[in-house]
Amino acid sequence: MEKFRNTVKKSVHISQYQPVKRYLTHNDSYEVPDDFPKAFDGIDINDERFLKIPNGEQYVSNYLGVLLSEKNGKDGYDPYDKLQMIDKEIKNSQLKESLALKEASYNLLYTDQLEAFYQLFDKMVKNDSLKQPVKEKYENIKSMSPGVPSPDFTAYDINGKEYHLKDFAGKALYIDLWATWCGPCRAEIPYLEKLKKQYKGKDINFLSLDVYDKKDKWEQMIKEKKMDGWQLINTDREMPFLKKYVVDGIPRFILLDKEGKIVDANAPRPSSGEELTGLIDKTIGK
């Protein structure tokens, strides 16, 4: 069993090498060499041992992601495609239900086919109590569509002054949800600083809102890095703002218009370049 686990774990690392290197080097054209090991060679996706090893379901999920990427000829795919593959390829009912729950819990926000995704999920998972958290996320995502007024937040600056969404009224608002311990969050900071300079004097504010963090760590980084602009924090992991926006992970970016209405509840990252600037320009009417 341990040999099986190690074989699978090694395959997962191999499968992640190319996309991770592309992300860390900002080189989307990087390809592994022809002699690079093939991930999951000789592993049966329906092997029952996946149910008995730690993180077995996650290993199968990675496996399916590799198959989808190879099928599409790229690293990305819609989560709905993944859910369809789970439904089609996984024969063990226990494993299928577990994978469907994980896919919906983590990726419901990121599908472009929300209705189709949820309907298929609802068919695949029979236990109503297990489905309830996903149902709540589904309803929150639907309520956070473009044009809907954004829910309010409460946050504090380094001096303890309290701020709310209304304090940013009159200008578009790009919100960066981050934390000091989050590597990908910190990697976006230079791109965010570049955006601030690019749109200086324009009808948009850039708010860095630290969440899931410790106040002393945040204060230390703000002072050491001399981070300027709107730097706020809220240490309440259960604050309604995060739940309404279905924030399951960071970094996460949100774009609001001048009236505080949602433009994109899951906006492009600062490092996305023209994908984000085009959206901002359209929002502020440039």
Q: Which member of 109, 185, 246, 247 is catalytic?
A: 185
Quick count: other Cβ atoms within 10 Å of Cβ 210? 27
Q: Which member of 120, 175, 182, 250 is catalytic?
A: 182
Sheet arrangement for strand 230-233: 162-164, 154-156, 230-233, 204-210, 172-178, 252-256, 262-264
CA 160 distance to own-chain centroid? 29
User: Is 185 one of the catalytic residues?
Assistant: yes
Residue 172 corresponds to which tokens in the numbers above?
């578009």
As a residue count, the chain comes to: 286
Alpha helical stretches, state H, the chain: 2-25, 56-72, 79-89, 93-107, 114-124, 128-143, 183-198, 215-224, 240-244, 274-284
Residues designated as active site? 182, 185
